[in-house]
Structure 1
Amino acid sequence: MFKKVQIYKTDKYNMLSVEVQGKTLIVREISDQWGEECHTFVSRPEMLHWAENRFRLADYAGREEERAEILANFREV
């Protein structure tokens, strides 16, 4: 049995979720541009490091709140 946590979902083609399978964390990112991408992490700090780099502050200029919410959702996993 694993736990699935939704990080964000804008529509059925743009979403990101984390599946917790024991100590393994699987991030599934679905976008209308790139399709589905999976990232597997063996620790929470590793996943958070990826999230910080994936959702860079420079990419969210003027949308800092949106970025902060995404990263907060990752920290709750």
Structure 2
Amino acid sequence: MFKKHVIYKTDNYNMLTVEVRGKTLVVREISDQWGEDCHEFLSRPQLMHWAENRYRPEDFTGREQEREAIMAALKEV
């Protein structure tokens, strides 16, 4: 049984989930523009490093709270 965390879900086509599979973290990023991307990480620091690069502050100008919520949810995994 895997533990699944929903980081954000705006609708059925735009969401980010993290599955905890033992020591492996599987991130599924689904968007209506790009389809589904799947990333596997072996540690939480590796996951957070990816997230810092994927969700850059300059991409969230005017939506800083949205980015902060995403990063906080990822840290809780």
Q: Decide: shared fold, TM above 0.5.
A: yes
Give, in whole Å, the separation in 1 of the partners of 2:21 and 2:33.
Answer: 27
1:12 to partner: Cα distance: 0.4
Partner of 2:40: 40
Cα RMSD of the aligned pairs, angstroms, is 0.4
**1:72 pairs with 2:77:** no
Partner of 1:17: 17
TM-score (norm 1): 0.99
Corresponding residue pairs, total:
77
Partner of 1:49: 49
Q: Which runs of 5 or more structure 1 residues have no equivalent in the other structure? A: none
Deviations 1:20-48 (A, max 9, x none): 00000000000000000000000000001
Quote the sequence identity (%): 69
Q: Which runs of 5 or more structure 2 residues have no equivalent in the other structure? A: none
TM-score (norm 2): 0.99
Partner of 1:59: 59
1:76 to partner: Cα distance: 0.2
Counterpart amino acid of 1:60? F
